[in-house]
Structure 1
Amino acid sequence: MGTKRRPITTDERRARLAVRHRLAGTARAADVSEVAESLVALHATDPASVFLAVGARLRGDEGPVRALEQALYEDRTLTRMHGMRHTIFVFPTDLTPAVHASTTRDVATRERAMLIRDLRKGSAYDEEWLAETERLLTTELTARGEATGAELGAAVPRLRVQYVYGVGTRQEGNQPLSSRLLRVLGMEGRIARGRPQGTWTSSRFRWTLTPERPDPSDADAHAELVRRWLATCGPATEADLKWWTGWKVTDVRKALAALGAEEVELTEGTGYVLPDDTAPVPEPEPWAALLPSLDPTAMGWQQRDWYIDPVYRPALYDRSGNIGPTVWWNGRVVGVWAQRPDGEIAHRLLADVGAEAGAAIAAEAERLAGWIGDVRVTPRFRSPLEREVAAAEI
């Protein structure tokens, strides 16, 4: 007979989430690096989400803006780059070699091959011409330190070259080289997005060269990323891991085996935790949180019924499956929040959660409004209910 798997209940999973995702009051972090390490990856397709996600998990009322900007653009302890599922994330910089080797490198190889193919089909330029263009671009970045795409285009005219994209398809049309080449170089880890051209909500970034980094083996990189993720999100199913990483199921299974991950019993079936991480987790004090669209907690698992009632899904997600801003109480999504044009942080609950929860949620809304100040934040990915709350009369 096989060893009986220890069951981990939904309540215990919510307790782990509260502590390991820095959401319970006593678990909140002292600085932005602690938050980034705890969450592994911060969704950064919408730049504001990074700041809102970190701000929700810090102690005090000062907010994360200055500290995050220092970590991202001065100390470089955090890095914005392509990661899992072709998505932009902010990672702890020491994790970027594992992310690149396990996830981004293969995608970058395919992207470069497609760029070269499209250049050959839609222009007179070839791989040798592209290599010289890249040399001129990196020389310019070395001299400048950082530059916008427009500044690089002015200094390196080759970047303004137009080629025909999608020859013979419905998408056929002229496209400038600059944006696509910068994207490929970013995916290859040769350049990185630096300081934005506006406030912390801006998505128009300057570019900078990246320092050399270690190049781990595929197996080591897969194992390291899964180790970090399970420490934060375990227990989780194989399907959760496959979805979050975007890998083949065989790569997920090899990484779990390399780590010696332990099987546990979840409501939805077999889950996995790191070795010796099956001990019960004490339930933390009651807690409330206002999390942004695409928050790492809301997007941490593929199977989410244990923290989101399926009946609420149509109100919480956009048509592409991106979750909007959410209100949490004790490990469950209980509502939606939005910033109105006058700056008010408003929310709408989906169920009666009681007076204690109502007071805690209101306090979090006040804390959020305090550090956001005069900045206006409109999510790039808007759920139906968030739109309603944002537009409602006060």
Structure 2
Amino acid sequence: MSSSVETPVFIQTKSHEALPPPNLARGPIAWMRENLFPSIPNTILTLVVFYLLYVAIPPLVKFLFIDAVWTGTDRDACRAETAGHPVGACWAFVWDKINYFIYGSYPITERWRVDVWFVLLAIGVVWLLWLKAPRRDVGAVYFFIVFPVLSFILLLGSDWVGLDHVPTGLWGGILVTLIVATVGIVFSLPFGILLALGRRSRLPIIRMASVIFIEFVRGVPLITVLIMANTMLPLFLPGDITIDRLARPLVGVALFASAYMAEVVRGGLQAMPKGQYEGAMSLGLKYWQMMVFIILPQALRIVIPGIVNTFIGLFKDTSLVAIVGIFDLVKTIEASRIDPSWSAPTIGYTGYAFAAFFYFIFCWGMSRYSLGVERRLAAGQNR
């Protein structure tokens, strides 16, 4: 005799409203306990950081804003003995020299050309980096082909369009800083990709040439490369051929950044699974087709943080061109702070603070943009 036990089945016959999502907000105290004071070592580190911020931030805010001098026409406005109170940053000095910081010695009547160049640069950057911009392929052609030609004609001048010639010796300030950074960023990525592919090439000559170039450039500081490009490069040319004094550091910066970019890209290529190469070859794709359509898009996505980090370092390193006599932003500040009419104790600190704000804004913008691109690509990969 066998007995069977029936399992009761519960069937819901009525529909119920969906429950609300769980409340993850536990209040600021719980957040601080979890993130700032989770253990004794972390609590000590948090207290040390808070102390350092307490020591550094209030005096800095007082110097830059509270005790700062915002208006004035000469050094008397920024001297404590004439002002009658403690004097912090002398922003009146910056406002008085702002045109020199932007244009350098570019002729005043021709500075509208620099303003137009700033607008053209902004259009190219936004068109290329805005992910929802229409016809970004046309934007790439504009930025890499049309914009360099327009920049050369507009800034240097041409008799064909009726623009007076302005030698690069008169260029300076933010104009030169952006030119050096733009040239370095634009040329370092494609050259770095070619060097990375050359280092992984099966041809011994190409591989050896790429390795020697990368290791040599990465083994010397940028200032050495700039000095060599500025003083030694003309020695290897015929006597009747000269290179513009601004073009020399541009070449040095582009080559230096390309070597570092090559190692970043090579890391992405090595991180690619072997199956990706085998799958591309099984489709009958040639080497360059495999690299352009299959391997490089995935490899570059992996190393986006490294690429942006190289760009940020390159943008800050543009200040080193001042050592070889190029009047970038830092050089114009150094030349302005020795002006006798603005001889005050805080003039130099204020000028360098202005340069720090300038570099921080651009570097922070590049960093935030890269984070947005990473999140977008990660979301697309997860889907």
- The normalised TM-score by structure 2 is 0.23
Based on CA coordinates, which of the two structures has the bigger radius of gyration? 2
- The normalised TM-score by structure 1 is 0.23
Q: Which has the higher helix share?
A: 2
